[in-house]
């Protein structure tokens, strides 16, 4: 049976806090196969990933390795970028929501490493195999709204490769790979919410997904550039093609 519940009692996180201890205290008791789903905001806070709000645009630029698309609007310019983590998202994940006044938060330095450290500490504390997923909120092409996805993971299978198996009608599946870590992230956000002050949830009942700590992290979900059919926005693709045409003519 699958159950998802948020943890109460997580205080405001400060730089340098022992996040594993705080989560463990709030959890009280965990069982083998539990998956802890942790909002990246509190990971970033514990890691001291703050910059002054006045430096937000500079911070976005510093975290960006490639501009995917940009769009002007009355309030400025929205940039969809690829970060050095390989993530593609708005503003490089630099965000003022749920951050102290006057500062903005960057994404964790290495979300998979952060998840791994939490998983190690929590497994040692509770003496059982647990998984950890670190999440952030992303928009999606072609769809309104945002949803939480996994940006870091440890101790779980982040993808469930069903290729080569058969569906209920006996037809062979040749392309189906379920992004289970993203599905876990989205399910947990239903109970965590954005404004409830409950940044950690437990997903219980997916024991088959929990495994060794050396399983690939959430970075394994990122699609390789060679397979990305939508790598650039319209204007950026046009500019790139135009420049390539000029270079070929020269």
Region 18-30: mean pLDDT is: 96
The range of the structural domain enclosing residue 187 comes to: 3-49+106-249
- Alpha-carbon distance 49 to 34, whole Å? 28
- Position 23 in a domain: yes
Each residue's pLDDT tens digit, 141-153: 889 999 999 999 9
The reported pTM is 0.91
Written in H, E and C, the secondary structure of the chain is CCEEEECCCCCCCCCCCCHHHHHHHHHCCCCCCCEEEEEHHHHHHHCCCEEEHHHHHHHHHHHEEEEEEEEEECCEEEEEEEECCCCEEEHHHCECCCCCCCEEECCCCCHHHHHHHHHHHHHHHHCCCCEEEEEEEEEECCEEEEEEEEEEEECECCCEECCCCECCCCCECCCCEECHHHHHHHHHHHHHCCCCCCCEEEEECCHHHECCCCCCCHHHHCCCHHHCCCCCCHHHHHHHHHHHHHHHHC
- Position 71 in a domain: no
pLDDT at 165 over 90: no
What is the pLDDT at residue 147?
A: 94
For residue 41, what is the domain's CATH number?
3.30.1330.100
Region 211-216: mean pLDDT is: 97
pLDDT at 49 over 80: yes
Report how far apart, in Å, the C-alpha atoms of 5 and of each of 30, 122, 219 are.
Answer: 12, 18, 26
- Position 179 in a domain: yes
What is the pLDDT at residue 175?
A: 82
Each residue's pLDDT tens digit, 54-63: 888 888 999 9
Report how far apart, in Å, the C-alpha atoms of 119 and of each of 59, 127, 144, 170, 228 are.
Answer: 29, 11, 33, 38, 31
What is the pLDDT at residue 222?
A: 94
Give the pLDDT band of residue 167 (cuts 50, 70, 90): confident
Number of domains in the chain: 1
pLDDT at 5 over 80: yes
- Position 22 in a domain: yes
- Summary mean pLDDT of the chain: 91
224 or 96, higher pLDDT = 224
Give the pLDDT band of residue 176 (cuts 50, 70, 90): confident
What is the pLDDT at residue 125?
A: 97
Give the pLDDT band of residue 122 (cuts 50, 70, 90): very high
């Amino acid at each position: 049976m699958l159950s998802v519940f948020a943890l109460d009692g997580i205080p405001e996180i400060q730089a340098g806090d022992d996040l594993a201890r705080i989560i463990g205290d709030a959890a009280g008791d965990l069982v083998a196969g539990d998956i802890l789903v942790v909002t990246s905001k509190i990971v970033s806070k514990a890691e001291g990933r703050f910059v002054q709000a006045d430096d937000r645009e500079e911070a976005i630029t510093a975290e960006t390795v490639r501009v995917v698309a940009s769009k002007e609007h009355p309030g400025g310019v929205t940039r969809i970028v690829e970060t050095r983590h390989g993530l593609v998202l708005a503003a490089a994940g630099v965000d003022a929501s749920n951050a102290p006044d006057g500062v903005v938060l960057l994404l964790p330095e290495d979300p998979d490493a952060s998840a791994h450290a939490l998983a190690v500490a929590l497994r040692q504390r509770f003496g059982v195999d647990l998984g950890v997923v670190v999440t952030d909120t992303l928009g999606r092409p072609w769809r309104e709204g945002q949803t939480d996805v996994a940006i870091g993971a440890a101790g779980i299978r982040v993808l469930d490769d069903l290729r080569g198996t058969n569906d209920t009608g006996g037809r062979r599946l040749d392309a189906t790979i379920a992004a289970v870590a993203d599905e876990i992230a989205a399910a947990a956000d239903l109970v965590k919410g954005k404004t409830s002050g409950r940044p950690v949830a437990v997903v219980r009942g997916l024991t088959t997904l929990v495994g060794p700590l050396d399983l690939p992290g959430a970075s394994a979900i990122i699609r390789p550039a060679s397979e990305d059919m939508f790598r650039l926005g319209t204007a950026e693709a046009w500019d790139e093609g135009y420049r390539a045409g000029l270079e070929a003519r020269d």
